[in-house]
Amino acid sequence: MNQFDPAHLSRIIEMAWEDRTPFEAIEHLYGLNESALIKVMQRELKPSSFRLWRARVSGRKTKHLKLRHPDISRGYCSTQYKMR
């Protein structure tokens, strides 16, 4: 399994928790397919947090590009990265 530095590992976990970040984006950026990501999450999260995460992402359409509505073309809110 790939070893990641703490900053990348933190970002991977953050992306996995985000509702609108698909598994395919994590795979593209970090080379972790869904099953590898599940193993990372299981290893890095407390058991109760892992169960919450699995329940949250299981069947969630926005976590899989093929299940997304075609009008959703980005993985973030349009106001998320606004500069002040």
pLDDT, tens digit, 9 for 90 and up, residues 19-31 = 888 888 899 999 9
Q: What's the predicted TM-score (pTM) here? A: 0.73
| Single-letter amino acid code for the residue at 79 | T
Query: Domain of 32?
Result: 6-67
Confirm whether 76 is domain-assigned.
no
Confirm whether 74 is domain-assigned.
no
| Single-letter amino acid code for the residue at 24 | E
Confirm whether 78 is domain-assigned.
no
Confirm whether 48 is domain-assigned.
yes
How many angstroms separate the CA atoms of 34 and 59, rounded?
13
User: Dmax of the chain from CA atoms?
Assistant: 40
How many angstroms separate the CA atoms of 77 and 57, rounded?
19
How many angstroms separate the CA atoms of 4 and 19, rounded?
22
Give the model's confidence band at 73: pLDDT under 50 very low, under 70 low, under 90 confident, else very high.
low
* Structural domains of the chain, count: 1
